[in-house]
């Protein structure tokens, strides 16, 4: 079954017609909720997460599977210890996130608008003294530590900064957390191998983001980054160029230790409504295309996951290496996308996920058939919905899988 599914997916990526349309919807909370668990439970218990994924794969039989790392299941005990400031999740003490909900990312301006030069000239120092204390409660004592002159004879007096008991406690806790993550990722790797032995192709071999999204998501926040491209564009360009190498080499490092070859690239700020075409090409597209080309050159398949409306960007996407990429759309004119990209990249998406959560079984069947009619002819198509399977009606998910299997034969 693994070889059969792998051939089906490889044919689709290569823009061929496989025996049938590969069905690989991306899942977030659905497998866990469908199996009878809350997200509050699986966030703290990897065994429950594994049980849910096994049941989901054996019952629905998608062509691709993935582990529980995509929802951070089981990581929360470590994140509790770190005092993470940028994430909220079900089961957290004083949680504001519902027990059935996916985690929520909290955007903040961790990089001050006047700190670009410090960030660009001394990133390691900035991360240690600025970012860590702002992003993790555990590392608040780091804000008073200055390591910039701790070399030569000045190292000895500089060590006195670390005499703070809170600093010693922080190092002890982070060491414990590090050992926890070593164990966690080892366990996750073994489970992903189990998924392959069950006959399912690994959906995600690595995850990365564009350089602009790194800046906007994790450092400046959306509002800060969007203001910066107007008020200090050269600093933004310098930061994007500074951040680019880690987007590529980080993905290559992940993929080296994974059996999966698909690199998931969610495009958070590239949508039509955040950037003008000129801004998109100047601040976003250049490093994204270099990232895609770098991954392809290393034998990997970029999974370019557009988010939000993406109609005005389709012409840019025509420049990706032909027959080497998988492009997903959340919201776009799928007929136009097929016309322009059908001989360039494998396509997926287009069916709104809310149809599975709130629609009828008949509506789901109709939309699945319409999507297949639009994207399947000629090959180069993997069935997926607009975003992810979350708290959806089980009968609608059943109808979706059954329709793809019956209607999606070539």
Quick: pLDDT tens for 274-310. 999 999 999 999 999 999 999 999 999 999 999 999 9
Spatial distance between the Cα atoms of 258 and 41, rounded to a whole number of angstroms: 27
CA-based R_g, the chain, Å: 22
Does 404 have pLDDT greater than 90? yes
What's the pLDDT tens digit per position in 195-224?
999 999 999 999 999 999 999 999 999 999
Q: Where are the domains of the chain?
A: 2-26+203-407
Strand 104-105 relative to strand 87-88: parallel, antiparallel, unpaired? antiparallel
* CATH class of residue range 2-26+203-407: alpha beta
pLDDT in tens, 237-280: 999 999 999 999 999 999 998 888 999 999 999 999 999 999 99
Given this model, what pLDDT does residue 150 score?
A: 87
- DSSP string of 249-310, one letter each residue: HHHHHHHHT-S--EEEEEESS-STTTS-HHHIIIIIIHHHHHHHHHHHHTT-EEEEEE-SB-
pTM above 0.75, yes or no: yes
pLDDT band, very low/low/confident/very high, at 148 (cuts 50, 70, 90): confident
Query: Nearest to residue 193, comparing CAs of 252, 250, 260?
Result: 260
């Amino acid at each position: 079954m693994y070889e059969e599914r792998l051939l089906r997916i490889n044919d689709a990526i290569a823009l061929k017609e496989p025996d049938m349309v590969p069905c690989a919807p991306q899942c977030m909370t659905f497998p866990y909720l469908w199996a009878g668990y809350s997200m509050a439970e699986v966030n703290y218990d990897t065994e429950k997460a594994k049980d849910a994924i096994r049941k989901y794969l054996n019952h629905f039989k998608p062509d691709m599977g993935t582990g529980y790392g995509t929802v951070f299941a089981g990581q929360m005990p470590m994140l509790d210890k770190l005092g993470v400031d940028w994430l909220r999740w079900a089961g957290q003490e004083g949680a504001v996130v519902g027990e059935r909900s996916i985690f929520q990312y909290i955007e903040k301006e961790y990089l001050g608008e006047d700190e670009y030069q410090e960030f660009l000239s001394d990133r390691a120092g900035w991360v240690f003294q600025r970012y860590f204390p702002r992003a993790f409660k555990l590392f608040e004592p780091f804000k008073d530590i200055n390591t910039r002159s701790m070399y030569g004879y000045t190292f000895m007096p500089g060590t006195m900064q670390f005499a703070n008991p809170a600093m010693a406690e922080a190092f002890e806790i982070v060491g414990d957390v590090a050992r926890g993550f070593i164990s966690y990722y080892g366990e996750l790797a073994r489970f992903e191998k189990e998924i392959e032995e069950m006959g399912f192709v690994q959906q995600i071999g690595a995850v990365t983001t564009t350089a602009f999204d790194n800046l906007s998501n994790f450092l400046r926040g959306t509002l800060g980054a969007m203001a910066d491209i107007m008020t200090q564009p050269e600093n933004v360009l310098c930061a994007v160029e500074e951040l680019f190498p880690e987007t590529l080499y980080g993905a290559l490092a992940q993929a080296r230790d994974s059996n999966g070859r698909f690199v998931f690239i969610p495009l958070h700020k590239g949508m039509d409504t955040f950037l003008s075409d000129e801004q998109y090409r100047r601040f976003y597209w250049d490093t994204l295309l270099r990232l895609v080309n770098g991954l392809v050159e290393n034998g990997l398949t970029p999974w370019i996951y557009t988010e939000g409306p993406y109609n005005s960007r389709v012409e840019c996407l025509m420049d990706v290496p032909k027959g080497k990429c998988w492009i997903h759309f959340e919201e776009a004119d799928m007929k136009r996308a097929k016309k322009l990209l059908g001989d360039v990249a494998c396509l997926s998406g287009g069916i709104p996920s809310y149809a599975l959560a709130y629609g009828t079984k008949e509506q789901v069947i109709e939309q699945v058939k319409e999507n297949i009619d639009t994207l399947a002819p000629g090959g180069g198509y993997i069935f997926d919905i607009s975003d992810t399977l979350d708290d959806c009606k089980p009968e609608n998910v059943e109808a979706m899988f059954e329709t793809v299997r019956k209607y999606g034969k070539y």
